Amino acid sequence: MIPVSRPYIGRRERRAVNKVLRSGMLAQGPEVEKFENEFSEQLVNGAFSIAVNSGTSALHLSMLALGISAGDEVIVPSFTFAATANSVVLTGATPIFADINLKTFCIDPDSVKKLIGPRTKAVIAVHLYGQSCDMTSLSLLCKANGLYLIEDAAQAHGAKWLNKPVGTWGTVGCFSFYPTKNMTSGEGGMITTFDSNLADLLRLLRNQGQKKRYHNEVIGLNNRMTDIHAALGRVQLSRLSRWNDQRREIAATYSDQLVNVQTPYIAEEAFHVFHQYTIKISEMERNLFAEELKKSGILTGVYYPIPVHKLPSYNKNIELPNTAEIALQCLSLPIFPTLRKKEIEKVIRVVNGISLEKR
């Protein structure tokens, strides 16, 4: 079976983790600090980087640090992983769901604009599937309305908009290192910001509100990353740029050779890192495609079948037509750096076989 994604853990990762295990110092320590410094330099133009235990924690702590709380509203896309909206709810604030752009599947600035009201405090831009949102429009919009711009870059390590990395456009950037993302630390997350006061507060919040042990200054959580995870993350970070190039090459091959399916649109300003390669096909054909591919040993994914506002945990009675359409028509094909040439050719052959046969 060819999976949709396949994390790679090599000898260097094992050696790095073993070294930490042998040291006996497992919790947040020198590896976390090195990981943060390398992430700052390599991915976000020197912004402060604060490592935490998940992408969800990154989002949650960012909003706590910005003072977002009960009575506030945060505009989010509904076509995303639930964690984006959940982290808003966990601060006490209310997520307000915006629609997406039909081409990029990212949050639509025009939809955001219509939802801004007196209680709005922030907008979360989710760089879906590895493609940056329209950061030109979102930055202007947030600036004009005095809103924080939070980037959910969980799927977009290394992506850029106008040659400027994601995670450097907003007030804060939030990354995830879950195993299926473009790089992993097992579990983990990173918050990026150029605001040094915010960075200090984030460091307090992830560690029980204390800088000096037993001198807790604010109410915080334990959202620390361990040195075990950081050691793994550091090795993966060193591979990221080559891996992103490989993802982009596979995507280019697919887009060049797939017929009769709508291949991903790439905005001119975007440097897309293809966390997912997602085609759009009619609702009726999607199941047939997925079944036929599975019979041939190729797995596919639907990210996400139910828009967040329609999940039982939200169940909001609002209409987001573009979100509804894409949730029914998106289908992600296998894409990961270790996908072999033969496997790529097989995906293309099978997809084209189905799409030609039907007509």
Ligand X SMILES: *Cc1c(COP(=O)(O)O)cnc(C)c1O
Q: What does the binding site for ligand X look like in residue numbers (CB under 6 A)?
A: 54-56, 80-81, 83-84, 126, 152, 154-155, 176, 178, 189
Shorter beta-carbon distance to ligand X: residue 56 or 193? 56
Burial status of residue 358 (CB atoms within 10 A of its CB: 0-12, 13-18, 19 or more): exposed
Question: Minimum distance between the CB of residue 286 and ligand X, rounded to whole angstroms?
Answer: 21
Closest approach of ligand X to the CB of residue 58, in Å: 7
With a CB cutoff of 8 Å and minimum separation 6, the contacts of 42 are: 237, 240, 241
Q: Are 186 and 170 in contact (CB under 8 A)?
A: no
Give dist(CA 259, CA 349) in Å, integer.
10
> Considering beta carbons, is residue 190 or 201 the nearer one to ligand X?
190
Nearer of residues 176 and 323 to ligand X, judged by Cβ = 176
CB of 109 to ligand X, least distance (A): 18
CB of 180 to ligand X, least distance (A): 8
Q: Give whichever of 155 and 355 is closer to ligand X, judged by the CB atom.
A: 155
Q: How far is the CB of 331 from ligand X (least distance, A)?
A: 17
Q: Which is nearer to ligand X, 56 or 171 (CB)?
A: 56
- 47 CB-near residues (< 8 Å, 6+ apart): 40, 167, 168, 173, 192, 193, 194
Shortest Cβ 105–ligand X spacing (Å): 12
Dihedrals phi, psi of 70, to nearest 5 degrees? -50, 135
- Helix (H) or strand (E) run with residue 95 in it: strand 94-98
3-state SS assignment for residue 121: strand
* CB of 183 vs ligand X, minimal distance in Å: 12
For ligand X, which is the closer residue by CB, 276 or 300? 276
**Distance, CA of 49 to CA of 43 (rounded, Å):** 10
Return the number of other C-beta atoms located less than 10 Å from residue 287's C-beta: 11
Q: Which residue's CB is nearer to ligand X, number 54 or number 120? A: 54
Beta carbons of 189 and 60 less than 8 angstroms apart? no
Report the nearest approach of ligand X to the CB of residue 253 (Å): 24
- Which tokens go with 137? 């429009």
What value does the CA radius of gyration of the chain take, rounded to a whole number of Å?
20
Count Cα atoms within 13 angstroms, Cβ side, for 230: 25
Rounded distance between C-alpha atoms, residue 230 and residue 36, angstroms = 9
As given in the structure block, the two tokens for residue 72 are 């506030």
Q: Tell me which amino acid residue 317 is.
A: N
SS3 state at 106: coil
Nearer to ligand X among residue 49 and residue 355 (C-beta) = 49
Shortest distance in whole angstroms from residue 303 CB to ligand X: 8
Residue number with CB closer to ligand X (276 or 329)? 276
**What one-letter code names the amino acid at 260?**
N
The residue among 56 and 322 lying less far from ligand X, judged by its C-beta, is 56
Residue closest to ligand X, measured at CB: 55
Q: According to DSSP H, which parts of 131-271 are helical?
A: 135-145, 196-206, 227-257
CA gap 33, 248 in Å, rounded: 30
